């Protein structure tokens, strides 16, 4: 095929204004031409008659300035209305079929319905979430000068707060370095590619001071920020000026001064801990009665499968456990393995409460423990989260399942155990020795549970047999520190993350992404025992993982309800 001839004329350079002229589609141009003058066709509308016809149909449902004869209005009103409805339905269907990534810019460009607010950010918000600048949608953000000073004073070090301060500084520098950026007028937050942020970032470029009580010392950074908010409230009236801070005392002082203030809530996976996914669901008492005509069942190996339908399917998730317990009727304990449309498939569980199914000599004692053991022993489940109060058996079951699959089944090569090193009281100082020796005092729970497992599985092996078993177990369990996890890849490992409620979402992501092929990760924790400062049940990394992984075919979660440690521990958990 011959190539086209080369151009003989040199292309003219575009003017500077042409670079900022938005692209105009045929449909938009046709719509503007129709609204301006429908009687005078333009070259643009003549070249796109199909787009103009579609726009005319869509505009026919709204009143226009064009006069029409009554006869034409009465001739075919239903036909025009049906055409318009059909056109709107086709557009909606096309939008649903369009990939999500292509719909996002159009949704982001939607104009706000109400007046925009001006959010003044405290320093602790920027050091808590470096990406918080892009979380306020169409609203504007204001940074006082003292906030930049505090960021500069906290940027040194290797802590999480120092890293976040440096990341925030780099983000501010990238916004200010964009072409055409003017700090005096405000920096466009979407200029760096974050299309979800449609507001502007403004800095304090002139002295601002509000009328604060004399009891508040002016040299303190928090009080200077409160003075800036007071001055902005008067200057920007009637626009709402809101202070966003993670400091509770600062929010209380702001409310006492009559200022609007809010907590930064974007970091919370859930606003209410009671709404956390439990992993199990009780079937209604009339379950068998409603499903008696439509239920299908079949046998496959030692498991029975049930295909159910009805409105209950909408409330089910993959790998969610369901149970039915009623007096005089057979009980059902199953797991959801498939959901298609209005039907779901339930698979009965293996009964680990029976002694013949004991795992490393351990049998489960209640319904939730049996659910958890089915997840831990399933090779198709790569990620398991266990939550519950103290003494519910989380660590013991995870270790028993790990030892069985490492030493007996040889499914994994070794067990790796780690935990967040957050002390309950004051820190006792530096610990001597190697990495494993330093982690020894933090792994008291591991030693306690291994002692129980060693006694339960040794049987009548005698002193030498127990010593050999303990030595074998110790050789297959590695204790690692979380500080050296970044960059690693675990292949065919059984990874246990204990006390995961003390992890932030960023730390949880770092640990979970270490998993290579054939690795299983178990995260355990009690959300009522969070020792990390500034971390709550809603913002914990464990809550974040449970909420994000629910419904994934290779992940499962269960909340253990009843404690089995001792009657003293159970009573203390309830009353203290």
**If you search the block for the tokens 């779901």, which residue do you land on?**
344
Do 334 and 366 have their domain in common? Answer: no
* Of the residues 262, 286, 320, the one at which a domain ends: 262
In a domain, 15, yes or no: no
Do 342 and 461 have their domain in common? Answer: no
Q: In whole angstroms, what is the distance from residue 354 CA to residue 365 CA?
A: 9
Do 250 and 200 have their domain in common? Answer: yes
**Regions in the chain scoring below 70 on pLDDT:** 1-114, 269-274, 423-430, 435-436, 442-443, 456-466
In a domain, 102, yes or no: no
In a domain, 447, yes or no: yes
DSSP at 340: E
Q: How many domains does the chain have?
A: 3
In angstroms, how far is CA 95 from the centroid of its own chain? 26
Confidence at residue 273, expressed as pLDDT on a 0 to 100 scale: 54
Do 326 and 463 have their domain in common? Answer: no
In a domain, 409, yes or no: yes
Do 368 and 491 have their domain in common? Answer: yes
Confidence at residue 6, expressed as pLDDT on a 0 to 100 scale: 59
Confidence at residue 173, expressed as pLDDT on a 0 to 100 scale: 92
Sheet containing 303-309: which strands, arranged edge to edge?
A: 280-282, 321-324, 332-340, 343-348, 303-309, 296-300
Do 427 and 521 have their domain in common? Answer: yes
Q: In whole angstroms, what is the distance from residue 186 CA to residue 292 CA?
A: 66
* Of the residues 285, 318, 348, the one at which a domain ends: 348
In a domain, 21, yes or no: no
CATH number for 332: 2.40.30
CB-based contact 320:374 (threshold 8 Å): no
Do 323 and 221 have their domain in common? Answer: no
In a domain, 269, yes or no: no
In a domain, 73, yes or no: no
What range defines the domain where residue 461 resides?
A: 362-575
Q: Which residues contact 266 (CB under 8 A, 6 or more apart)?
A: 129, 132, 135
DSSP H helices in 76-159: 77-97, 100-108, 123-128, 145-153
Element counts in the chain: helices (H) and strands (E)? 20, 18
- For the stretch 491-537, pLDDT in tens is 999 999 999 999 988 889 999 999 999 999 999 999 988 888 778 88
Half-sphere exposure of 338 (CA within 13 A, CB side): 8
* Of the residues 304, 325, 348, the one at which a domain ends: 348
CA distance to 364, 505, 545, 554, per residue, from 378 (Å): 16, 26, 19, 10
- Strands 280-282 vs 321-324: parallel, antiparallel or unpaired: parallel
Helix (H, G, I), strand (E, B) or coil at 507: helix
Confidence at residue 513, expressed as pLDDT on a 0 to 100 scale: 93
Do 523 and 461 have their domain in common? Answer: yes
Confidence at residue 457, expressed as pLDDT on a 0 to 100 scale: 59
Confidence at residue 547, expressed as pLDDT on a 0 to 100 scale: 92
Do 252 and 141 have their domain in common? Answer: yes
Q: Which residues contact 392 (CB under 8 A, 6 or more apart)?
A: 368, 369, 560, 561, 562, 563, 564, 565
In a domain, 25, yes or no: no
Considering the entire predicted model, what is its pTM? 0.67
Do 388 and 514 have their domain in common? Answer: yes
Do 410 and 516 have their domain in common? Answer: yes
280-294 per-residue burial string, b: 16 or more CB within 10 A, e: under 16: beebeeebeebbeee
CATH number for 182: 3.40.50.1010
CA distance to 162, 285, 305, 368, 553, per residue, from 319 (Å): 40, 22, 14, 14, 6
Do 195 and 305 have their domain in common? Answer: no
């Amino acid at each position: 095929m011959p190539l086209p001839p080369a151009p003989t004329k040199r292309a003219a350079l575009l003017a500077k204004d042409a670079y900022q002229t938005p692209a105009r589609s045929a449909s938009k141009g046709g719509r503007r031409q129709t609204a301006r003058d429908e009687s005078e066709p333009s070259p643009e509308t003549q070249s796109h008659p199909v787009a103009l016809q579609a726009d005319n149909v869509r505009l026919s449902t709204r009143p226009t300035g064009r006069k029409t004869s009554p006869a034409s209005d009465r001739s075919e009103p239903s036909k025009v209305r049906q055409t318009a409805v059909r056109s709107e339905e086709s557009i909606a269907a096309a939008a649903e079929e369009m990939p999500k990534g292509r719909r996002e810019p159009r949704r982001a460009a939607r104009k706000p319905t109400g007046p925009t607010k001006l959010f003044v950010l405290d320093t602790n918000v920027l050091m808590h979430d470096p990406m918080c600048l892009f979380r306020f949608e169409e609203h504007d953000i204001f940074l006082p000068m003292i906030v930049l000073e505090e960021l500069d004073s906290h940027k040194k070090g290797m802590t999480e707060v120092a890293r976040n301060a440096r990341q925030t500084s780099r983000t501010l520098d990238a916004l200010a370095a964009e072409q055409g950026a003017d700090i005096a007028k405000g920096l466009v937050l979407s200029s760096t590619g974050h299309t979800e942020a449609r507001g502007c970032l403004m800095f304090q470029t002139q002295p601002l001071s509000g009328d604060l009580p004399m009891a508040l010392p002016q040299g303190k950074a928090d009080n200077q920020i409160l003075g800036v908010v007071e001055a902005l409230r008067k200057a920007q009236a009637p626009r709402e000026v809101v202070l966003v801070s993670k400091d509770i005392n600062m929010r209380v002082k702001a409310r006492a001064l009559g200022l609007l203030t809010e907590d930064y809530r974007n970091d919370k996976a859930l606003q209410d801990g009671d709404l956390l996914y439990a992993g199990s669901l009780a079937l209604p008492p009339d379950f068998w009665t409603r499903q008696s005509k439509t239920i299908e069942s079949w046998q496959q190996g030692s498991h029975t499968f049930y295909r159910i339908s009805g409105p209950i399917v909408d409330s089910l998730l993959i790998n969610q456990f369901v149970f039915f317990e009623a007096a005089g009727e057979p009980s059902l304990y199953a797991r959801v393995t498939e959901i298609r449309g209005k039907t779901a498939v339930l698979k009965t569980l293996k009964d680990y409460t029976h002694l013949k199914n004991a795992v490393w000599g351990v049998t489960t004692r209640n319904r939730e423990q049996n659910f958890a053991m089915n997840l831990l022993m399933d090779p198709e489940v790569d990620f398991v989260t266990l939550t519950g109060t103290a003494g519910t058996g989380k660590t013991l079951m995870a270790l028993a399942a790990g030892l069985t699959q490492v030493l007996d089944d040889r499914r994994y090569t070794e067990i790796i155990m780690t935990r967040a090193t957050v002390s309950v009281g004051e820190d006792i100082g530096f610990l001597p020795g190697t990495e494993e020796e330093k982690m020894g005092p933090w792994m008291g729970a591991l030693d306690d549970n291994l002692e129980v497992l060693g006694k339960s599985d040794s049987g009548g092996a005698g002193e030498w047999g127990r010593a050999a078993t303990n030595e074998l177990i110790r050789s297959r369990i590695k204790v690692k520190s979380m500080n050296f996890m970044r960059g690693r890849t675990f292949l065919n490992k059984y990874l246990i993350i204990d006390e995961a409620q003390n992890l932030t979402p960023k730390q949880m992501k770092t640990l979970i992404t270490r998993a290579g092929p054939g690795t299983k990760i178990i995260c355990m924790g009690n959300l009522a025992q969070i020792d990390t400062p500034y971390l709550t049940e809603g913002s914990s990394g464990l809550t974040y993982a449970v909420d994000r992984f629910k419904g994934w075919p290779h992940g499962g979660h269960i909340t253990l309800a009843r404690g089995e440690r001792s009657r003293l521990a159970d009573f203390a958990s309830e009353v203290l």
